[in-house]
Amino acid sequence: GENVEQHPSTLSVQEGDSAVIKCTYSDSASNYFPWYKQELGKRPQLIIDIRSNVGEKKDQRIAVTLNKTAKHFSLHITETQPEDSAVYFCAATPPGYALNFGKGTSLLVTP
């Protein structure tokens, strides 16, 4: 089955800096790559996703890049704010299967 590795497990940045979280996947058939944000005690919520027919997608301060050849994808958050502090999960799925999640990155943005 699909195996998703996520790095780093913790990340601390100063407000206004950029944050980058990286994930690799094992199944070359995977074609959908969402990113979820989970605040303490809350449900995971989708913040951005990318499908295998594009290499990059941007939504305001958040962007995701996908390298299918290398089987890795990354989340980029620019101009970080304290409210960006949360745990971020990447996921991947081949067609017809459920999402496989990484172990998460705990992001702390300090003022």
Nearest to 35 by CA among 43, 26, 44: 44
Q: Does 89 bind another protein (CB under 8 A)?
A: yes
Size of the site for another protein (CB under 8 A): 27
CB of 14 to another protein, least distance (A): 24
Site for another protein in 16-55 (CB under 8 A): 31-32, 34, 36, 42-46, 49, 51-52
**Binding window for another protein (CB under 8 A); candidates: 11-19, 57-65, 74-82, 93-101:** 93-101
* Strand-pair partners of 58: 63
Measure the CA–CA gap between 72 and 50, rounded to whole angstroms.
Answer: 12
Positions touching another protein (CB under 8 A) are 4, 6, 31-32, 34, 36, 42-46, 49, 51-52, 89, 91, 93, 95-104
